[in-house]
Amino acid sequence: MSSEQLSYPEKIDIRNCEKEPIHLIGKAQAHGVILAVDPKTFKIIQASENTLKFFGISHKVLLNDGLESLIGKAAFEKITTAIDQKTGFKAEELKIGNKHFIVLPHFSEDHLILDFEVLGEYWEPMFLQQQLTNIINGLDSNETIPNLCNTAAKLMKSIFGYDRVMVYRFDEEWNGEVVAEEKEEHLESWLDLHYPASDIPSQSRNLFLKHKVRIISDVNYEPVPISPYLSQITKKPLDLSKSTLRGVSPIHIEYLQNMKVGASLTAAIIVHGKLWGLIACHHYSAKFINYFQRETCKFLAQVFSNNIASIQTGIFNKKFSENSELRAKILADLKIENTLGEGLENAKIPFISLMENGGGAVVLDDEIKLFGKTPTEAEVKDLSDFLAENEEIIFYTKHLKNHFSAAENYKKSASGILSFKLGRANNNFIIWFRPEVAETVSWGGNPNKKLTYNEEKQRLSPRKSFEKWTEKLDGISNSWQDYDIETAKAFRENLNQCILKKQKEEISRLNQNLQEANKDLELFSYGISHDLRSPLRGINGYAQILKEDFSENLPAEALETIDTILKSSNRMEGIIDDILSFSKITGGELQKKNFSTKKLLQELLVSFNIKTNYPNFNIEIAENLPDTYGDRPMISQLWSNLLGNALKYTQQAPYPQIEIGSFSRENKNVFYIKDNGIGIAEHQKDQIFKMFSRFAKKDFKGTGIGLAIVARILEKHNGKIWVESEPEKGSTFFFHL
Ligand code: ADP
């Protein structure tokens, strides 16, 4: 109902009939009086125009009168106390003039609304007690829902005496079916008849959900206007949704008149918070049952609802636990070495046995496996494309062709489907199919002629005929039950876990393979470098002999060639040394300890023999260098490579200068080594840490492995290295561990 709807519209047409504002009808039924009172002043501000008939006072006289003067001090005080103490209202009996009433107060928006009904037939407490006992005993003794419904219909008929009592059950689409009936003999039976959802539109269903029992005491009543029509508080018609005397929708009245019904009583059957059905009572003349009787009817509907809930829960638990056992067996068969599709295909118990009748399909990455009675593979492929577009993870329907028209072609095998998406991918599904049921359904009147526009009445009219109208079910399967859906959900969870487990195992297997391959590679590179050394020494040794012992006999060209052999073999030895130390680092375990950085650097300077080899260098090492916590031989290698580079690439500077220092940043000691050498171009800064990347000119010897070793050592220590540099000005390498 739109909140903008302020009053009952002049005209209800096809477009707005679902929105008919039945709570704003602005009229009362004729079997009582509605008064609206301003709760601040307790003055009567609106009244149904039938007060004269009931109270002997015209509504015009009542308007603006105090409520107390009408209902008397005692009743008035009960109402004001209930308001002050917020205890909620009780139905009160009272006398106005010489008539006995029951008054039912409630708040609606900013009004206090009072429904006055005549007290009516009085039930002795003993009799009432007996009725309640009958209700409980009668309903409790049923083990199936059909039996329960029959008993409820019988009890209703015997207690309230309506001509026809029906238990009306809603399906998933809110169509109704009469599942139990108790009637006067001369009436034709409506048992098993179906009624379209539009017969009880959603706004009526919502009101039933809230107010549970509704009485229309005289279908042919003259609706009583509320005067004035608009409330002076809200400037709108009264919202009478909670009023028991609320006038009835003209469409519904005509509907009942077309059925020749004179009075009705309807009680809601609410199971797990949802409207399950209605107990609909028809009388073929006017009939009023009073408040206390209606309370008994509410009680009956409540016990009935509870019994349905408990039977349904029992069925659910039984089916679900049977299915759980089946699921466990199917899952036990899903061997880890098989793919899921193969697993489900080879399982001793096919997964389709989780649901009653029909077939199934497993769609995994465009591979389709079919089980039992199903559409063709191509049709299932099409269907899974449709399902992939659907946002829902679990999709089920008993009327597939309503959602997907191509399903018309295979309705025999798959009028109903229940499917779920597997894992995160959008194209993996498990699907169950249910065949078309070859049944007919009998409607109470042709459901396709729901409403017509009535020119004379200027509004919609319900269908005139309620003659039995049979229809062959087309493309409809048996319904999917709550336990089917829950089983599907649980199975999905199971399979997803299975997939996850498989993926985890696959990842750890790959990881293991990778580690082994890595180890092999390290061993291989270590082995090969090691094995190359002795032949290389041979080449170097013999070239040396050639040069030293036979130089006089050799032409100058041959001597030059020997020199090239020597240079090349020396270079190769350098490369082998570097590869060996790289493999040692990659394979070796860290042995961390605390040591003096300064001492390590001094040792290095000695090993580089700086004074002799680099006499023109100015090397400054900061006094207060912090200690290092790490693998000493590796860190020594790291400094040696950085220092070696700094010396190498600064050699040609007029005043070569190297500075080693440290500072602290974000709780870490950052070390740096700065030179004023050739520098590094911006685009090479990231490349230089990769294996075999060299950028310096040919006259700088090297292998391109040194910084890769540095980077690897830092990686092993979870440290980081970066460089700041400007070509021709110098470079600074920073690192922390
Ligand atoms: P190598 O020095 O054996 O060529 P490295 O891996 O140690 O190999 O260094 C890779 C490249 O980084 C060098 O070829 C050089 O271009 C550059 N580089 C490294 N350190 C410096 C530095 N201090 N000054 C200028 N360039 C440097």
Q: What is the pLDDT of residues 187-242, one digit of tens each?
A: 999 999 988 888 888 888 988 988 899 999 999 988 999 999 999 999 989 999 88
Could you tell me if the CB of 37 is within 6 A of ligand 1? no
Confidence category of residue 616, pLDDT binned at 50, 70, 90: very high
Contact (Cβ atoms closer than 8 angstroms) between residue 250 and residue 459: yes
What are φ and ψ of residue 102, in 5° steps? -120, 130
Q: 646: pLDDT confidence band, cut at 50, 70 and 90?
A: very high
Nearest alpha-carbon partner for 333 in 342, 323, 324: 342
Residue 126 scores a pLDDT above 70: yes
In the reported structure, the alpha carbon of residue 703 is separated from the centroid of ligand 1 by a whole-number distance in angstroms of: 9
Cα torsion 286, 289, 290, 294: sign: negative
In angstroms, the CA 17 to CA 673 distance is 84
Tracing tokens 């041979």 back to the chain, one arrives at: 538
CA-closest residue to ligand 1 atom 7: 706
439: pLDDT confidence band, cut at 50, 70 and 90?
confident
Q: Is 685 helix (H, G, I), strand (E, B) or coil?
A: coil
What band does 570 get if pLDDT is binned at 50, 70 and 90?
Answer: confident
CA pair distance 95, 696, nearest whole angstrom? 112
**Interval 250-273 mean pLDDT:** 91
**CB of residue 703 inside a 6 A radius of ligand 1:** yes
- CA of 694 from ligand 1 middle (Å) equals 6
Residue 259 pLDDT grade (very low, low, confident, very high; cuts 50, 70, 90)? confident
Q: 662 with 669: CB under 8 angstroms?
A: yes
pLDDT for the residue numbered 15: 46
> Which amino acid appears at position 78 of this protein?
K
Report the pLDDT averaged over residues 403-411: 95
Pick the residue whose CA is nearest to atom 25 on ligand 1.
679
Q: Which atom of ligand 1 is nearest to the CA of 696?
A: 16
Say what the alpha-carbon torsion angle 586, 591, 594, 597 is, to the nearest 10 degrees: -30
C-alpha pair distances (Å), 472 with each of 63, 176, 448: 58, 17, 14
Give the pLDDT of residue 464.
65
641-660 b/e (C-beta count within 10 Å ≥ 16 → b)? bbbebbbbbbbebeebbbbb
583/593 Cα distance (integer angstroms): 22
Expressed in angstroms and rounded, the spacing between residue 531 Cα and the centre of ligand 1 is 27
Q: Which atom of ligand 1 is nearest to the CA of 675?
A: 23
Question: Per the structure block, which two tokens stand in for 244?
Answer: 């028991």
Starting at the earlier edge strand, list the strands of the sheet with 263-271. Answer: 213-216, 263-271, 274-283, 164-170, 176-183, 193-195, 440-444, 468-472
d(CA 372, CA 312): 29
Q: DSSP label at 406?
A: G
pLDDT at 451: 60
The pLDDT, as a whole number, for residue 602 is: 93
pLDDT at 337: 58
Separation CA 32–CA 711 (nearest Å): 93
What is the mean predicted confidence (pLDDT) over 284-297?
Answer: 93
Q: What is the pLDDT of residues 81-96, one digit of tens each?
A: 999 998 889 999 999 9
Question: How far apart (Å, rounded) are the C-alpha atoms in residues 281 and 264?
Answer: 5
pLDDT surpasses 80 at 107: yes
CA distance 639 to 621: 13
Ligand 1 atom nearest 649 alpha carbon: 24
Name the more confident of 545 and 584: 545
Q: Is 618 helix (H, G, I), strand (E, B) or coil?
A: strand
Mutate to test the pocket of ligand 1, among 645, 682, 693 (most ligand atoms within 8 A of CB): 645
- Give distance in angstroms: CA of 679 to centre of ligand 1: 9
Does 702 contact ligand 1 (Cβ within 6 A)? yes
CA 461 to chain centre: 42
Query: What is the reported pLDDT for 198?
Result: 82
Closest protein CA for atom 19 of ligand 1 = 645
Q: Rounded to the nearest 5°, which phi and psi values hold at 399? A: -140, 65
0.75 surpassed by pTM: no
Q: Is the peptide bond before 350 cis (omega within 30 degrees of 0)?
A: no
Beta bridge partners of 659: 620, 674
**Token pair listed for 398:** 């008993």
Q: For residue 568, what pLDDT is reported?
A: 84
Q: What letters, b where the CB count within 10 A reaches 16 and e where it falls short, cover 460-470?
A: bbbbeebeebe
* pLDDT of res. 1: 33
Ligand 1 in reach of 676 Cβ (< 6 A): no
pLDDT range class, residue 25, cuts 50, 70, 90: low
| DSSP-derived 3-state class of residue 136 | helix
Sign of CA dihedral 51, 55, 56, 59: negative
More confident position, 402 or 697: 402
- Please give the average per-residue pLDDT across 293-315, as a whole number: 93
Atom of ligand 1 nearest to the CA of 677: 24
Q: Cβ(630) to ligand 1 under 6 A?
A: no
The whole-angstrom separation of Cα 184 and Cα 164 is 6
Q: How many angstroms separate the alpha carbon of residue 421 from the centre of ligand 1?
A: 54
Q: Whose CA is nearest to atom 3 of ligand 1?
A: 702
Helix 556-587 and helix 706-716, axial crossing angle in degrees, nearest 10: 10
Regarding the beta carbon of 284 and ligand 1, being less than 6 Å apart is answered: no
Beta strand 193-195 pairing with 440-444: parallel
The amino acid at residue 164 is: R
Closest CA to ligand 1's atom 12: 688
CB 452 within 8 Å of CB 479: no
SS3 595: strand
- Counting residues of the chain whose pLDDT is more than 90, the rounded percentage is 57
Other beta carbons less than 10 A from residue 222's beta carbon: 10
DSSP secondary structure string for all residues of 173-228: TS-EEEEEEEE-TTSPP-TTEEE-GGGS-HHHHHHHHHH-EEEES-TT--PEEEES
CB 482 within 8 A of CB 490: no
Regarding the beta carbon of 678 and ligand 1, being less than 6 Å apart is answered yes
> 20 Cβ partners below 8 Å, 6+ apart?
12, 201, 203, 249, 251
343: Cβ contacts below 8 Å, ≥ 6 apart? 333, 334, 335
Residue with tokens 């039933």: 208
The confidence score (pLDDT) of residue 461 equals: 60
User: How high is the pLDDT of residue 619?
Assistant: 95
Report residue 484 as tokens: 């089917």
- pLDDT(543) > 60: yes
Q: Is 420 exposed, middle or buried (0-12, 13-18, 19+ CB in 10 A)?
A: buried
- What pLDDT is recorded for position 456? 60
Q: Which amino acid is present at 398? A: K
Q: What is the pLDDT of residue 386?
A: 94
- Residue 160, C-beta contacts closer than 8 angstroms, at least 6 positions apart: 265, 281, 289, 293, 297
Tell me what percent of the residues of the chain surpass a pLDDT of 70: 93
Question: 344 and 423 in contact (C-beta within 8 Å)?
Answer: no
Q: What is the per-residue pLDDT for 6?
A: 46
3-class SS letters over 695-736 = CCCCCCCCCCCHHHHHHHHHHHCCCEEEEEEECCCEEEEEEE
- Round the average pLDDT of the chain to a whole number and report it: 88
Strands (E), 1-154: 27-28, 32-38, 43-48, 92-96, 99-108, 111-118
Contacts of 36 (CB under 8 A, 6+ apart): 44, 45, 46, 47, 111, 112, 113, 114, 226, 231, 238
- Closest C-alpha among 371, 361, 374 to residue 413: 374
CA of 652 to the centre of ligand 1 (A): 15
The b-or-e profile of 191-203 (16+ CB within 10 A means b, else e) is: bebbbbbbbbbeb
Rounded (10°) CA dihedral 706, 712, 716, 719? 80
Question: For ligand 1, what atom is nearest to the CA of residue 693?
Answer: 10
